[in-house]
Amino acid sequence: MGERFEIDTRVGPVPVRVVGDGPPVLAVHGLLMDGRLWDGVVGRLSPHARVVVPDLPLGAHRRAVPDRSRLTPREVAGALVDVLDGLDIGSAVLLGNDTGGALVQMAAAAYPERASGLVLAGCDAFEHFPPPLVRPLVSLAAVPGGTSLMLRLFGVPAVLADPGRLNVFTARGLGRPLVRDLLEPARSDAHVRADLTAFMRNVRPGPLLDAVDGLRAFAGRAAVVWGRRDRIFPPRDAERLAALLDTTVTWLDDAMTFVPHDRPDAVADAVVSLLPTPRIGP
């Protein structure tokens, strides 16, 4: 579905899918995910917008990056601008979930002219990068063999694939085929696994805290969409982000961390609310 491109960025070639026509929206996934996270959102947005969905090198990527030293949150955030440049897009609504929400915050703060709006659908914020509950897992990246251990944990169906009490990420479950496919590159390719390890070792609060002043001055419209059942990202951070961006929180009773998967309709509605209203008449 849609057109596919490979765009050169500062962190290496990035596969990109573009669907729909209209004002551009850049949808950014998080760690160990790829653009399929947004499939439900894309289907709802494509009649209203040109949705750009990159597959960033965050652990589910299929080809190792050429220069692993560039896998830092700031550089990957900058690569979002490279994606827009590669598609000749001046500015877009930046839409992020999980780590992707942190990346779009940094991009909007550093390159405000490239962000026509900002939608944060459950994500890292402020000093919680990584968030408290998963900080021990991210810390495994500093231990030899730790990333492989983390991948084995996420491969347990009850943790990510199946809905249930042990799944703290999604109320619906991602499904076993998708989780298996997302984890396979880092499980089977030592170079991709080293990329994932390198990025996780660079996750720390500083870059996100540095973005606060830029977000406070952000002139575009913003929306914050958060799951009430989210146990990864503190609810207080949703309120703090909304106050920072001069907006309110849309709370979703039936959503957890992966809001775009649990409630794609609500995320799409939030994006549409920020799009320019078509002019009627001459």
The pLDDT tens digits of the residues spanning 208-242 come to: 999 999 999 999 999 999 999 999 999 999 999 99
Full domain range(s) for residue 240:
3-130+203-274
DSSP bridge pairs for 149: none
Rounded Cα distance, 233 and 79, in Å: 24
Residue 124 lies in a domain: yes
Domain count of the chain? 1
User: What residues in the chain have per-residue pLDDT under 50?
Assistant: 279-282
Identify whether 125 is part of a domain. yes
User: Which amino acid makes up residue 240?
Assistant: R
Among 15, 8, 77, which Cα is nearest to 52's? 15
Residue 267, pLDDT score: 98
Model pLDDT, residue 276: 87
Residue 63 belongs to some domain of the structure: yes
| Dist. CA 45–CA 31, nearest whole Å | 23
Residue 107 lies in a domain: yes
* Residue-level pLDDT at 85: 98
Question: How far apart, in whole angstroms, are the C-alpha atoms of residue 131 and residue 140?
Answer: 14
**Is 256 a domain residue?**
yes
State residue 141's pLDDT score.
87
Q: How far apart are CA 173 and CA 22, in angstroms?
A: 31
Distance CA 73, CA 280 (A): 42
Q: Which residues contact 211 (CB under 8 A, 6 or more apart)?
A: 105, 106, 108, 109, 110
User: Is residue 163 classed exposed, middle or buried when 0-12, 13-18 and 19+ CB atoms within 10 A define those classes?
Assistant: middle
Q: Is 166 contained in some domain?
A: no
The predicted structure's pLDDT at residue 279: 42
Q: How far is the C-alpha of 54 from the C-alpha of 28, rounded, in Å?
A: 7
Indicate the length of the chain as a whole number: 282
Kindly report the CATH number assigned to the domain that includes residue 17: 3.40.50.1820
Strand bridging mode 24-28 / 92-98? parallel
In a domain, 97, yes or no: yes
Dihedral sign from CA coordinates of 97, 143, 66, 70: positive
Given this model, what pLDDT does residue 142 score? Answer: 85
Confidence (pLDDT) at 278: 53
Whole-number pLDDT of residue 137 = 87
